[in-house]
Amino acid sequence: MLKEAKSYFWILIDVALVVVIVFGTWCAVYYVGRYTASLPITRTISVSAEGKTVAEPDIAKLSFAVVSEGKDSEVIQADNARKMNAAIEFVKAQGVEAKDIKTSSYNLSPRYEYDDKKRTTFISGYTLTQTVTVQLRDFEKVSPILGALPGFGINQIHGVNFEIEDPEKYLAMAREEAFYRAYAKAAAMAKQNSVRLGRVVTFSEGSQGGPIYLRSYEAAAMKADIGAPAPMIEPGSEEVRVNVTVTYELQ
Closest CA to 127 of 83, 77, 65: 77
Band of residue 126 on the pLDDT scale cut at 50, 70, 90: very high
- Distance CA(76)–CA(155), nearest Å, equals 14
Mean residue pLDDT across the chain: 82
Q: What percent of the chain has pLDDT over 90?
A: 52
Domain ranges of the chain: 44-54+168-209+243-250, 58-165+216-236
pLDDT for position 248:
95
Band of residue 208 on the pLDDT scale cut at 50, 70, 90: low
pLDDT for position 167:
85
Q: What CATH number does the domain located at 44-54+168-209+243-250 have? A: 3.30.110.170
As a whole number, mean pLDDT of residues 36-55 equals: 80
- Distance CA(173)–CA(160), nearest Å, equals 27
Whether the pLDDT of residue 46 is over 90: the answer is: yes
Among 19-33, 106-120, 126-140, 202-216, top mean pLDDT goes to 126-140
pLDDT for position 216:
42
Band of residue 185 on the pLDDT scale cut at 50, 70, 90: very high
Contact between residue 186 and residue 197 where contact means Cβ atoms under 8 Å apart: yes
As a whole number, mean pLDDT of residues 176-185 equals: 95
Whether the pLDDT of residue 215 is over 60: the answer is: no
Contact between residue 245 and residue 42 where contact means Cβ atoms under 8 Å apart: no
Angle (CA) 215 216 221, round 5°: 165
Q: What is the pLDDT of residues 188-197, one digit of tens each?
A: 999 999 999 9
pTM over 0.75: no
Band of residue 227 on the pLDDT scale cut at 50, 70, 90: very low
As a whole number, mean pLDDT of residues 121-129 equals: 92
Pick the CATH number of 58-165+216-236 from 3.50.4.10, 3.30.70.2970, 1.10.3760.10, 1.10.3720.10: 3.30.70.2970
Band of residue 239 on the pLDDT scale cut at 50, 70, 90: confident
Q: Residue 96 CA to chain centroid, in angstroms?
A: 24
